Amino acid sequence: MGFVDWYSNEHRHKGIGKVTPAQKHAGENIAILQKRKEDYEAAKAKHPERWKGRNTRKWDVVKQTKLNHVTMKDIEKELKKVA
């Protein structure tokens, strides 16, 4: 297995809800994240003493993703380098 295959099909990305890009692209992330939410809520109901806060992890579907988030400051800094 090469890097691209691993990155797309095995590695779970934090920025898209700990699913793989392939799962997100195929729309499988919705069911996966719903199941995780249900599992966490059930675990919290069964053992509430294990949960510090009121909520479990956020398992919301990430609708829009960014690759290599860049701020305006980053762009200005790079422009100064080439000017």
pTM over 0.75: no
Sorted by where each begins, the domain ranges of the chain are 3-82
Quote the tokens at residue 35: 């199941």
- State the pLDDT at residue 78: 79
Q: Encode burial over 31-66: b for 16+ CB neighbours within 10 A, e otherwise.
A: ebbeebeeebeeebeeeeeeeeeeeeeebeeeeeee
- State the pLDDT at residue 33: 95
- State the pLDDT at residue 69: 67
- State the pLDDT at residue 67: 64
The answer to whether 29 and 19 are in contact (CB under 8 A) is yes
Quote the tokens at residue 2: 């090469």
Residue 19 forms beta bridges with which residues? 13
The pLDDT tens digits of the residues spanning 52-81 come to 776 777 888 988 776 666 677 877 887 888
- The residues, any chain, with a CB within 8 Å of residue 21's CB and separated by 6 or more, are 7, 8, 13
The pLDDT tens digits of the residues spanning 8-51 come to 999 998 889 999 999 999 999 999 999 999 999 999 999 988 88
- State the pLDDT at residue 81: 82
